[in-house]
Amino acid sequence: MKTGLITKADGSAYLEQERIKMVSAVYGPQQLKNAPFSSSASLVCEVKYAPFALKQKYGCNREIIEKDMSLHLEAAISPSIQLDILPKSVIHIYVFVLEADGELSTFAAAITCASAAIADANIECVDLVTGAAAIINKDNCVIMDPTDEDENDKIFSLVIGYMAVKDELTELWSFGLKLFNSTDQHESDDILSKCISMASDYRFVLNNVIMQKMEEQLNFFEGLCLFMKTSNVFILILKSWKIHFGKFTFMYFYINLNKLKNLRLLKIYLLYT
């Protein structure tokens, strides 16, 4: 996983997971000038497949799959973003699937990829959402991250969006009636717990990617501070970003270099709360 690859987007991420490949871009928050006042921001999610991404078996169902995934992605991501502090604005999230291998695993990966792009866009979040998918096949075996071939034998499938810090599910997308029977409660708990465990593992990967990005920016700041100290020039903090990792909250500030000449004061923080 990598972030910041699309320079024209406010945030972006690229994800590879086995055969699955996709890119996500975030634009916003953008002010809506001619729209009626709204006390919170609106979130618009769109998932698109490359013409060569889907296997022939899906055929003309591509638009239906894209529409379903877009709606479920919005439902999975929106609880993590502080939309109430962004009045009369909109955030657009685009996910473009370059290669898919299993509809369920692709959707779960789209949740994680979109969250990475949101973090890269410095949007205020209460937590980050990661996705996980699993099926139960005809042999009553749980298979995580099912491929297209695995999905051919499924009798039940599950995709979740999970916020690890808050320990909350933001989305639960299931297919099949088998596990709604009371006698199958154990199997239901088993597949759900495995999905939560896998989503937590993906969160660890996502944390490492974002921490690496933060370290790169902090290294840049250290060099900049040294230069400013020797040249008696000071810079003002323009923007801040806060995000949660485990029991800690990390906050860092970054500088708009285009306004470097007019600024007077520099302070950089890394807070642990």
The per-residue DSSP string of 188-246 comes to HHHHHHHHHHHHHHHHHHHHHHHHHHHHHHHHHHHHHHHHHHHHT------EEEEEEET
Number of domains the chain is built from:
2
pLDDT score recorded for residue 229? 54
In a domain, 130, yes or no: yes
pLDDT over 90 for what percent of the chain? 46
Name the burial class of residue 259, with classes exposed (0-12), middle (13-18) and buried (19+) by CB atoms within 10 angstroms of its CB: exposed
Peptide bond into 79 cis (omega under 30): no
The neighbour count for residue 98, using CB atoms within 10 Å, is: 15
Range of the domain at 257: 214-262
Cα separations in angstroms, 249 against 66, 188, 240, 241, 269: 35, 34, 13, 10, 12
Same domain, yes or no: 185 and 220: no
Mean pLDDT score of the chain: 80
Name the burial class of residue 62, with classes exposed (0-12), middle (13-18) and buried (19+) by CB atoms within 10 angstroms of its CB: middle
**242 has pLDDT over 60:** no
Same domain, yes or no: 176 and 250: no
Same domain, yes or no: 167 and 193: yes
Phi and psi (nearest 5°) for 185? -60, -35
- Any idea what the CATH number is for the domain that residue 117 is in? 3.30.230.70
Q: Which is more confidently placed, 254 or 193?
A: 193
pLDDT score recorded for residue 174? 87
Tens digits of residue pLDDT in 51-101: 888 776 555 678 888 999 999 999 999 999 999 988 889 999 999 999 999
Structure-token pair, residue 249: 């909250």
**C-alpha span between 106 and 213 (Å, rounded):** 25
Structure-token pair, residue 112: 């994680």
The neighbour count for residue 268, using CB atoms within 10 Å, is: 16
Phi and psi (nearest 5°) for 93? -120, 120
**C-alpha span between 210 and 206 (Å, rounded):** 6
Tens digits of residue pLDDT in 183-220: 466 667 789 999 999 999 999 999 888 888 777 766 66
pLDDT score recorded for residue 66? 93
Same domain, yes or no: 128 and 167: yes
**151 has pLDDT over 70:** yes
pLDDT score recorded for residue 210? 84
pLDDT band per the 50, 70, 90 thresholds, residue 177: low
Same domain, yes or no: 129 and 93: yes
Weakest-pLDDT range from 113-122, 142-151, 153-162, 263-272: 263-272
Q: Which is more confidently placed, 234 or 69?
A: 69
Tens digits of residue pLDDT in 6-44: 989 999 999 999 899 999 999 989 887 777 788 889 999
Structure-token pair, residue 105: 């695993």
Same domain, yes or no: 100 and 227: no
Same domain, yes or no: 126 and 254: no
Q: Are strands 89-99 and 42-49 parallel, antiparallel or unpaired?
A: parallel
In a domain, 270, yes or no: no
**C-alpha span between 112 and 204 (Å, rounded):** 11
Give pTM, 2 decimals.
Answer: 0.79
In a domain, 219, yes or no: yes
**226 has pLDDT over 90:** no
For residue 246, the one-letter residue type is: G
In a domain, 269, yes or no: no
- Mean pLDDT on 123-130: 92
Same domain, yes or no: 132 and 28: yes
